[in-house]
Amino acid sequence: MSTNETANIGVVGLAVMGSNLARNLASREGNTVAVYNRTHARTEELVAAHPEAGFVAAGTIDDFVASLARPRTAIIMVKAGAGTDAVIDQLAERFEPGDIIVDGGNANFQDTIAREKRIAPTGVHFVGVGISGGEEGALNGPSIMPGGSAESYETLGPILASIAAVAKGEPCVTHVGTDGAGHFIKMIHNGIEYADMQLIGEAYDLLRTVGGLEPHAIADVFAEWNKGSLESYLIEITAEILRQVDSATGKPFVDIVLDQAGSKGTGVWTVQNALDLGVPVGGIAEAVFARAVSAKPAQRAAVRRSAASRPQPQKADAGFADDVAKALYASKVVAYAQGFDAVLAGAEKYGWDIHKDRIAKIWRGGCIIRARFLDRIAEAYTDNPDITTLLEAPYFAQAVTQGEDAWRRIVATAALSGVPVPGFSSALSYYDSLAAERLPAALVQGQRDFFGAHTYRRTDREGTFHTLWSGDRTEVDVTHSTH
């Protein structure tokens, strides 16, 4: 075992993310990067392919630890769950007080909180860091969402800032909060990512089914949208995907891919946590469910067989694509508003001092949801951090109002044409729910009181009441009742 201690940082896990992050680190002035992967062939492959990186390759975990200068810093980029635990244990056994273990994978933030607690008594710092940007972002600059202690961020912050994406002259990294905050924020990022992808998918479906456009023409529409307020990485790559032609068949790529979406779990976590926090994130939930519905081929085939006929698509007029763009924008505002509501609720529950404007800023570059739009969100939260929802920020309130008629036309057209738009329609229903003078929740309260004596409050005076539904139907004031 060598004990050369020449590397100032190390990366464990050299699949797409880890190998690119290691290359990104190695490309920065002053860094010497140690690399280790459970299957050594991956390490050998990386080192052979990138001699310019000057990696210190370790064949064993002991060699890896020995190659790190003290205090040691190692970034873990392995499969979330058991794989991450295995590597954390290996490092924690060998690290000393003051050393830092960074988990840069997509860990569940609850696991991160537990891991930090477990490791804290050893004096080793454990830091959960959300990293977004995929393969390309990891190499050229991701958006980085570190949690963990403020003390560990003092060491880690400059290193992370040196490899992060830069937006408007600022590195896309900030200490988002303590313990699991980084992975919580990454989870919400991914939830929003799901919603955004679903909305873009619905826009494509409408342009194709109702608008009658072929994929290459829709690519042109998306490319045009990408020059305006909808500009984003996801719109940009959608145009590229729609232009892709399958070399084997000559068909559009999008027509030869099985229409069953996969997922790795972060969207589900977002919805599960939002349910626990009592935050309505319908746009994100619909996106998760839409993937689940797509992956039910037997049910889809059965209903297709039993459906008597499918509606004829409505006729699209000249302004149809513009209407879709407006509906997409308004629905996106709702999805982001819901995501930021979940950020706030998580911060309150877990005691994190999260700044929503800083989160919006670090999502402006490097990550999958990077978009022009995020400048506006950052401005909205900088101008007034206490707005109750993004939908009340003047810029977004105006944008949604201006697009509202188009949004309603699109949801109606989709319903009449048989095009599923769970994202667009749930976003519109959410908006209408918030904007309505009265909601049928009053009737729900009546039902709850009728069958379960669950009580209700009145609009005209304080107190808690119950109607004697199975008696003479008079109302009793139960405000001070002990039952």
Ligand X SMILES: NC(=O)C1=CN([C@@H]2O[C@H](COP(=O)(O)OP(=O)(O)OC[C@H]3O[C@@H](n4cnc5c(N)ncnc54)[C@H](OP(=O)(O)O)[C@@H]3O)[C@@H](O)[C@H]2O)C=CC1
Binding-site residues sit at 13-18, 37-39, 78-80, 106, 132-134, 189-190, 194, 264, 291, 448, 454
* Residue in 8, 15, 50, 161 binding ligand X, rule: CB under 6 A: 15
As measured in angstroms, the least distance from the Cβ of 190 to ligand X is: 8
Is there a catalytic annotation at residue 186?
A: yes
Catalytic residue among 193, 286, 326, 361: 193
* Nearest approach, Cβ of residue 367 and ligand X (Å): 9
Give me the residue label for tokens 């064949």.
Answer: 59
Judge contact between 33 and 22, C-beta under 8 A: yes
As measured in angstroms, the least distance from the Cβ of 111 to ligand X is 11
Q: Which of 59, 71, 83, 157 binds ligand X (CB under 6 A)?
A: 83
Tell me whether residue 79 or residue 372 sits nearer to ligand X (CB atom): 79
Cα–Cα distances in Å, from 364 out to 2, 174, 232, 330, 352? 42, 12, 9, 19, 22
Q: Across the chain, how many H-helices and E-strands are there?
A: 20, 11
Binding-site member from 14, 68, 368, 374 for ligand 5RP (CB under 6 A): 368
The answer to the question of residue 116 lying near ligand 5RP (CB under 6 A) is no
Q: For residues 422 and 289, give the distance between their C-alpha atoms in angstroms, rounded to a whole number.
A: 9
Q: Is the N-terminal amide bond of 97 cis, ω within 30° of 0?
A: no
Report, in Å, the least distance between residue 379 CB and ligand 5RP. Answer: 24
Q: Which two tokens stand for residue 53?
A: 């990186």
Phi, psi dihedral angles at 278 (to 5 degrees) = 70, 30
CA distance 163 to 173: 9
360 token code pair: 């919006």
Please report how many Cα atoms fall inside a 13 Å half-sphere around the Cα of residue 339, on the Cβ side. Answer: 30
Residues 37-66 that bind ligand X (CB under 6 A): 37-39, 42
| Amino acid at position 337, single letter | A
**Which residues are known binding-site members for NADP(+)?**
13-18, 37-39, 78-80, 106
- Closest residue by Cα to residue 129 from 86, 166, 89, 161: 161
Closest contact distance (angstroms) between CB of 365 and ligand X is: 15
**83 is a contact residue toward ligand 5RP (CB under 6 A):** no
Q: CA 314 to CA 301: how far, in whole Å?
A: 24
Asked if the bond preceding 71 is cis, omega within 30° of 0, the reply is yes
What distances in angstroms separate CA 416 from CA 187, 209, 226, one per listed residue?
Answer: 35, 12, 28
Residue 143 as a binder of ligand 5RP (CB under 6 A): the answer is no
Q: How far apart are alpha carbons 478 and 483 in whole angstroms? A: 9
- Check binding of 132 to ligand 5RP (CB under 6 A): yes
Q: Of ligand X, ligand 5RP, none, which one does residue 94 interact with (CB within 5 to 8 Å by kind)?
A: none
Q: Which of residues 134-153 bind ligand X (CB under 6 A)?
A: 134
Local structure of 76: helix, strand or coil: strand
Q: How far is the CB of 441 from ligand 5RP (least distance, A)?
A: 33
Q: Which of these segments, 38-46, 92-100, 262-270, 401-409, binds ligand 5RP (CB under 6 A)?
A: 262-270
Q: 193 an active-site residue?
A: yes
Backbone angles phi, psi at 173, to 5 degrees: -150, 140
Structure tokens at 441: 């929740």
# residues contacting ligand X (CB under 6 A) = 23
- Determine the Cα angle at 133 with ends 132 and 134, to 5°: 105
Nearer to ligand 5RP, 106 or 232 (CB): 106
Cα 51 from chain centre: 35
| Per CB under 6 A, 94 contacts ligand X | no
Of all residues in the shown chain, the one whose CB is closest to ligand X is 105
Residue with tokens 């001070």: 480
- Tell me whether residue 111 or residue 193 sits nearer to ligand 5RP (CB atom): 193
With CB under 5 to 8 Å by kind, the binding choice for 79 among ligand 5RP, ligand X, none is ligand X
Should residue 86 be labelled a site residue for ligand X when binding is judged by CB under 6 A? yes
Is residue 270 close enough to count as binding ligand 5RP by CB under 6 A?
no
- Residue numbers at the binding site for ligand X (CB under 6 A): 13-18, 37-39, 42, 77-80, 82-83, 86-87, 105-106, 131-132, 134
Residues annotated as part of the active site: 186, 193
Binding site for ligand 5RP (CB under 6 A): 106, 132, 134, 190, 193, 263-264, 266-267, 368
